[in-house]
Chain A
Amino acid sequence: MTTSRYLPLGALAAGLLVLPWLLPNSFYLDLAIRMAINAIIVLGLNLLIGFAGQISLGHAGFLGLGAYASAVLPTHFGWPPLAAMLAGMALTGVLAALVARPIFRLKGHYLAMATLGLGIILNIVVRNEAQWTGGPDGMPVLPFEVAGLTLSRDWHWWWLVSALLLLSVWMAQNLMDSPFGRALRALHGSEVASRGVGVDVAGYKVAIFVLSAMFASLMGSITAHYVGFVTPNVADFFHSIELVTMVVIGGMASVYGSLLGAVLLTALPQLLATFEGWETVVFGAILMLCMIFLPKGLAPTLAARFGKGGQ
C-alpha cells in the first residue's frame, strides 16, 4: 500500500471520470466501453499468463459460457439476469477446475492444448444447439435489470464498467502482493524451489486458472447484456488468440500493460477498417513485429525506457 501505487490508480479513476465528456459522440463511448470490458478480461488472463506462467488458448470459450448463460437462462427459463450471470460464473468455475486438476499435475504447456480443445468444443456446442442458442446467427439478450433498475443507456454501462475496471486493477495489485501472489510469482520462477519451501504448486495454479476463467465468464455476461445480442463468434478460437495477444503486447505480468494492450487491440480493427481487405494481413504483421521488436510487451519496454516502475 504505497503512494506509488495509488497515484496511477487515482490517475486512472480521474481519466475514466472525465473521458465521457471528451468523447465527441456515442460511437467513441461505445468503443471506450468495449475497451474497458476487454481490459478487465485481459487483467484476469494476465494473472494466469504473466504471473503463473500458464497460457490459456480457450479463454473466449469461458467468455462465451458467461455470455450464453446470460442469454439463454433469462430468455428460455425466465431466470433473473443476475442469477443467470452467477450461474454462468459457477458453471465456468466448475468446468475450469475439472479440466485444470488433472492438467496441472503435468509440467509444460499442456494447459494451452487442453484449453484450446475445450474452447473449440464450447464454440461448436453453441453453434449446433440452435434451439437454445440460435445457432450461428446468435440470439438477442434481455436487458440487465436488478431490483427494478434497468441498465439501458450507454453512460450507465460506462459507469458500471469503469467501476469494475478500477476494482479489478486494485484487486489485481493487492492479489499480487498477498501471500497468494507471492506464491504464484515464486512458482513462475522455479516450481521445484517453490515446492521446496512448501508452496502447493498445482493447487495455486488451479486456483488462479479458475479465478481467471470466472472473470472471463462474468465479463462475457456483461458484454452480452451491453450489446444486447450474442453470436458464437464471442467464443471462437480467434477471439481467444486476440485476448492472449492483448496480454503479451501490453506486457506480461504488468497490470497497466494489460489496460494498454486491451485499448490498442480493441482500437486496431477500427483503424484497419480503412485497409479494405488487407485487415488480416496488417493485423498479422503487427502481431509479428511487436513480438520480434518488443518481446517484453509495450508497458515494460516503455517503463524501462523512461526508468519508472510500471507495475
Chain B
Amino acid sequence: MLAQFLQFLFSGVTVGATYALAALGFTLIYNASHVINFAQGEFIMLGGMLAVFFTQAGLPLPVALLLAVLLPALVGVLVEKLAIEPVKGAPTVSLIIITIGASLVIRGLTQVWLGKGTHSLPAFSGDAPLALLGATLLPQSLWVLGVTALVVAALWGFFNHTLLGKAMLATSFNSLAAQLVGVHTGRVLFLSFAMSGALGALGGVLVTPITLTSYDVGIMLGLKGFVAAVVGGLGNGLGAVLGGLLVGVLEALGAGYVSSAYKDAIPFALILLMLFFMPQGLLGARNTERV
C-alpha cells in the first residue's frame, strides 16, 4: 500500500521536476517580456534529441550533454532576436502566434534533420534500481531531482545576490523604472530567452533516459510546463517549481489510482479548477489594475 504510493510519488516527482524546469523557463520569459512562450516545450525536446544525437555521434557523455543544453539556449536567443524583438508591444495574441510559429519551425527542422523515430539515451549512472521502503527508485531519478534542486538553488542565489539577477527582477516588476535606473532591459530579455532555452533543454536531457524522446514530444511537455507555471502563479519562480512538482505528482497518482488513459487530462483539469477557485495560483500576487 505504502510501497505503491511511494512508487507513484517517485515517478511523479521525477517527471514533475522536468515540468518545474519548463515552468521556470516560462516564468523567466514571462517576467522579462509578458510573452507566453509556446515554444518552451521544443527546448525540452531539443535537449533530449540533441543529447541522443551527440552521444550517437561518439562524443563523451558530459560533452554531449553540455552541447545539448547550450545549443537550445542559442536557439532561444535566436527566437528572441529574430521574432520577439522586432514586434515589441504587439498584442498578446500576435505574440502567442509568433511563439507557436517558432515552435513549428524548431519541431519541423528537427524532424527533417533527425527523423520521426523514437530515441533513448543511456542512463547517466546505470539502470540498477535502488530499493527504498518497498518501492524502487531509478538512479536517473536521483540525477533529475539532484540537478533540478541545484539549478533552483543557483537561480535563487542569482536573483537575490547578483547585480544582474536583481536587474532582471527589477525589469519584471517595472520595466520602465528599471530602464530609468540604468538597467539594459534589452539585455535582460536576451538573457531570459537564453536561460529559458537552457532550463528547458536541461529538463529534456535529464528525463530522456527515463521517458524516451522524439521530435514531437515538445507540445505536451511544454503545455504541462505552462500549466505548472499557471498553477504556481504565473511570474513566480518558487511557484513554478511547486506547480511543476504538484502537476507531476497528481498526474502520477491519477495514472496509478484512477486511469492511466486519462493521465494527460489531469494537468488540464487541474488548470481549470485553479482558474475557477484560485486564479492567482499558489503563490501568485493579486493584481490590481490602474486606469
Contacts and interface: CB of A to CB of B under 8 A. Distances in A.
Interface in B244-291: 261-262, 264-265, 268-269, 271-272, 275-276, 279, 287, 289, 291
B93 A244 contact: yes
B17 to A, nearest CB: 22
Given A55-B92, A113-B271, A106 B279 contact: yes
A11 interface: no
Given A237-B219, A237-B223, A277-B112, A287 B93 contact: no
A114 interface: yes
B114 interface: no
A114 B230 CA distance: 11
Q: Do most interface residues of chain B lie in helix, strand or loop, or is the interface mixed?
A: helix
Contacts of A292: 83, 86-87, 98
B109 interface: yes
A292 B264 CA distance: 33
A278 interface: yes
Interface stretch (A83-91, A121-129, A147-155, A175-183): A121-129
A118 to B, nearest CB: 7
Contacts, number: 125
Given A113-B275, A124-B265, A128-B261, A284 B93 contact: no
Given A285-B101, A292-B86, A295-B90, A110 B275 contact: yes
Nearest to A288: B101
Contact of B94 (A114, A283, A291): A291
Given A114-B275, A291-B87, A192 B291 contact: yes
A120 B269 CA distance: 9
Contact of A280 (B111, B269, B272): B111
A103 interface: yes
Given A125-B265, A287-B104, A292-B83, A252 B275 contact: no
B3 interface: no
Interface in B62-108: 83, 86-87, 90-94, 96-98, 100-108
Interface string A273-311: 000011111111111100110010000000000000000
B162 to A, nearest CB: 31
A281 B104 contact: yes
Contacts of A128: 261-262
A282 B105 CA distance: 7
Given A279-B108, A281-B108, A121 B279 contact: no
B227 interface: yes
Bin chain A's interface residue count. 35 or more
Interface residues of B, number: 43
Contacts of B108: 278-284
A116 B104 CA distance: 18
B276 A102 contact: yes
Contacts of B92: 55, 109, 112
23 contacts: A49-B93, A55-B93, A108-B287, A112-B96, A114-B272, A114-B275, A116-B223, A116-B268, A117-B275, A120-B265, A121-B268, A121-B269, A121-B272, A128-B261, A238-B219, A278-B112, A279-B108, A284-B102, A285-B105, A287-B101, A291-B97, A291-B101, A292-B98
Given A118-B268, A121-B269, A281-B109, 4 more contacts: A109-B92, A114-B275, A117-B275, A238-B219
Interface of B: 36, 83, 86-87, 90-94, 96-98, 100-109, 111-112, 219, 223, 226-227, 230, 261-262, 264-265, 268-269, 271-272, 275-276, 279, 287, 289, 291
4 pairs of A and B residues whose beta carbons are closest in the complex? A284-B104, A280-B108, A287-B101, A281-B108
Interface of A: 49, 55, 57, 99, 102-103, 106-110, 112-114, 116-118, 120-121, 124-125, 128, 190, 192, 237-238, 241, 244-245, 248, 252, 277-288, 291-292, 295
